[in-house]
A = this chain, B = another copy of it.
């Protein structure tokens, strides 16, 4: 098992292998991928598809002298195995040693910690520029998937590379004819024509940007890839090496269903069944249901997901049902937001759904294209919580801090199923405000909720008490409920419990009223404190005698943490907060 892979301690060892051994190495890598992915899950299709190319890259180039930048780096598992990190794949005790992305802390062969798309070419132009300033000579190689090409950052960089960088830069476009879901955009028709013509089709997108261009049909053939890479090694100008690969190659299920196997949970190797039981009810499921019903009854309603349909549970058959009322813009968050502004201006009802972390791309579009124009766009953020995505590159804990300080934007933080659905429908229907809604990260809970949110920044008093008021926002509302009980039990009085609902502004009247028989306000929020909700409350009371204590996450790039442990460490438990309160009052 893994006999050749076990001989590879560094890329130098790859170069010593015969053709036959390289083939065995590919088999070993696939077996190692299965080992890790069946047991802990991760990015699947991208890694199976890139095995041969990665072997060829390490055979031809000399990393770390030559520099590799992997776009998204979700396809870097084979690279990790060949750069001293095979144990993270073949030894079950070592899985945790490796992140799912390139990581300079793990190896000198990894240049950047990357998890968002479309960044590799820009980063690589920077490496090349510094190399040139220093008079060094080495190859800089960016590997980017066809799906990532549609992102603005990648397109900007291609245009730049096409004329401004007149030195070595090798851009490997890994064309597996798939984004996360299917690809979207005119560019992909061009790639198709190029594949069909063995790279000779007219109106070559890359050449139109001034880039040199080479096509290699057999991206899953080690020897073909070695030859292709030898052709571009040490080239003295930017070149695109467009390669054709099969996403999921060597794993039949992933070859057949590329969308479902882009990323996976732990699974049974034989059946492909995921070893996880989903709760009967989830906020994603509720979202899917809402969308499908709404679309049926309202022809102005349109859902936009920039390449992430599954964040709204929109499988291929549901997307087809939605027809013109569904738009996958491809990986283009900026365009998606501006397009939604146009739709809203023309009295459509646009709903954008995607992961919070990817919406970081859109601060300016939300501010300028949407909010200055006050167009009623609804943006639904998945995983804007400390629960969910815990890789440092995918954190959703910055979203409320980023969005809630943009003027005109209403940021809603629902606390239960009813409130979530009511907020969603209210937002889609109203015409006064751009709205961001934070999809809860908690398990689904049920309570009565209001359905009209047009009185912006009105908080809801859920339990009236004294001395201490708890403002428990969104996902942390249930922690507020728990805390209220803990206080009553341990401190002997009933505190006031408030559901703020609005993360982007204050209910000043209510906050003033609290001064009468409260001396301390506690804020709880599921995100970083700086720039967030609690600090607004603190600043409001700062000139007064009211004390405030904010609970939330620090401004920090947490990485692969256990959410419960993290919250305990930060003192965000009913017990610890009750102790803090005891000292403060």
Contact = CB atoms under 8 A, between A and B. Distances in A.
Interface of A: 67, 69, 104, 111-116, 119, 122-134, 150-153, 155-164, 184-190, 202-205, 207-211, 299-300, 302, 324-325, 327, 329-330, 332, 334-335, 337-348, 350, 360-361, 363-365, 367-369, 371-373, 392-393, 398, 401-402, 404-408, 528-531, 534-536, 538-539, 541-544, 547-550, 555-557, 584
Nearest to A329: B160
A204 B204 CA distance: 8
Contacts of A334: 122, 152-153, 156
Contacts of A337: 122
Copies in the complex: 2
B548 A539 contact: yes
A534 B539 contact: yes
Nearest to A350: B126
A369 B555 contact: no
A340 B126 CA distance: 6
A361 to B, nearest CB: 4
A123 to B, nearest CB: 4
Nearest to A186: B162
A187 B159 contact: yes
Contact of A398 (B302, B329, B342, B405): B405
B159 A185 contact: yes
Nearest to A584: B543
A347 B130 contact: yes
Contacts of A555: 405-407
Contact of A203 (B124, B155, B202, B335): B202
Given A130-B347, A405-B531, A209 B205 contact: yes
Nearest 3 pairs of A and B residues by beta carbon: A126-B342, A152-B152, A162-B186
A342 B125 contact: yes
Nearest to A529: B539
17 contacts: A123-B345, A123-B369, A124-B342, A125-B335, A126-B338, A126-B343, A129-B327, A129-B348, A130-B344, A156-B330, A160-B329, A160-B335, A204-B208, A363-B364, A372-B557, A401-B531, A542-B548
Given A111-B345, A130-B348, A330-B159, A368 B324 contact: no
Given A115-B368, A129-B327, A133-B348, A542 B543 contact: no
Given A134-B347, A202-B203, A159 B155 contact: yes
